[in-house]
Amino acid sequence: VQLVQSGAEVKEPGASVKVSCETSGYTFSGYYVNWVRQAPGQGLEWMGWINPNNGDTIYAQNFHGRVTMTRDTSIATAYMELSRLTSDDTAMYYCVRGGYCIDAVCPPGSYWGQGTLVAVSS
Amino acid sequence: QSVLTQPPSASGTPGQRVTISCSGSNSNIGRNAVNWYRQVPGTAPKLLISTNYQRPPGVPDRFSGSKSGTSASLAISGLQSEDETDYYCAAWDDSLNAYVFGPGTKVTVL
């Protein structure tokens, strides 16, 4: 199982960023893909997930209206786009395969991408 | 500010047992499973404990998880120098409709 993310990005305030997460080694449609971010020196923050089987998403309230998670099943890749960036969005962004699910809750599991650093600066 | 509470730090000497607490409420830990993650700075986090007490393959049995009511705990027995890193608890929160992480606990091996 591998999740390989796109490279680091530098963006200006107000811009958008789209991070990709190319998966392999398992059935893409069978596991949710979570997105988790970590600002420098800070803790982990869950952003949301996408069900690759049907495209259903749940977003954390902190990101409502700014985040969009999509997927392309033909290439087993998930995407996370964050708009209206501010300096507070400077962070490492991780995609994570969903782990053991209970009652449709499929939290981050054992397989994480390597992370994508997004820096927001003018 | 997280809805889960963890002590900022914990410490022990090699071989000792260290316990990290994670306190929540009925909307998160009280109703949902707890996961624990370990993160070495500069690397991606790693799932350490799943659904309260399950160890994923490859996780040593020195690590154990438990849950009671609205609190959970991670215990590290036979503390080793390599255990000196950051640990996070996490659970689904029904009120927030979100997966929430604790603020993290830094373990120091004295």
* Mean pLDDT estimate for chain B: 97
CB atoms within 10 A of CB B37: 27
Nearest to A103, CA basis, from B32, B63, B67: B32
What percent of chain A has a predicted confidence (pLDDT) above 90? 93
d(Cα A30, Cα A78) in Å, to the nearest integer? 13
Which residues in chain B touch residue A39, judged by CB atoms under 8 angstroms apart? Answer: none
Q: Mean pLDDT throughout A48-61?
A: 96
pLDDT band of A103, cuts 50, 70, 90: confident
B90, A60: Cβ pair inside 8 Å?
no
- A106 backbone dihedrals φ, ψ, rounded to 5°: -120, 80
CA angle, B4 then B11 then B68, to 5°: 40
Nearest CA in chain A to B95: A61
Nearest CA in chain B to A94: B44
The DSSP code sequence of B61-86 is TTEEEEEETTEEEEEE-S--GGG-SE
Identify the pLDDT of residue A38: 98
Q: Mean pLDDT throughout A52-68?
A: 94
Whether B33 and chain A come into contact, CB under 8 Å, resolves to yes
pLDDT band of A100, cuts 50, 70, 90: confident
User: Is residue A102 pLDDT above 90, yes or no?
Assistant: no
Partner residue facing A43 (CB), from B46, B47, B88? B88
For residue A120, give both structure tokens: 């927001």
β-pairing, B34-39 vs B46-49, is antiparallel
Identify the pLDDT of residue B70: 98
d(Cα A106, Cα A36) in Å, to the nearest integer? 13
Q: Mean pLDDT throughout A34-38?
A: 98
* Mean pLDDT estimate for chain A: 96
Which residues in chain B touch residue A94, judged by CB atoms under 8 angstroms apart? Answer: 44-45
Q: How far is B67 from chain A (nearest CA, A)?
A: 16
Identify the pLDDT of residue B47: 97
The DSSP code sequence of chain B is --SSB--SEEEE-TT--EEEEEE--TTTTTTS-EEEEEE-TTS--EEEEBTTTBPPTT--TTEEEEEETTEEEEEE-S--GGG-SEEEEEEEETTTTEEEE---EEEEE-
pLDDT band of A77, cuts 50, 70, 90: very high
Partner residue facing A114 (CB), from B44, B56, B104? B44
d(Cα B2, Cα B6) in Å, to the nearest integer? 9
d(Cα A69, Cα B105) in Å, to the nearest integer? 30
Identify the pLDDT of residue A64: 80
- State which residues of chain B have pLDDT below 50: none
Q: Mean pLDDT throughout A83-89?
A: 97
Which residues in chain A touch residue B104, judged by CB atoms under 8 angstroms apart? Answer: 43-44
Whether B37 and chain A come into contact, CB under 8 Å, resolves to yes
Nearest CA in chain B to A112: B44
Which residues in chain A touch residue B90, judged by CB atoms under 8 angstroms apart? Answer: 44, 46, 107-108
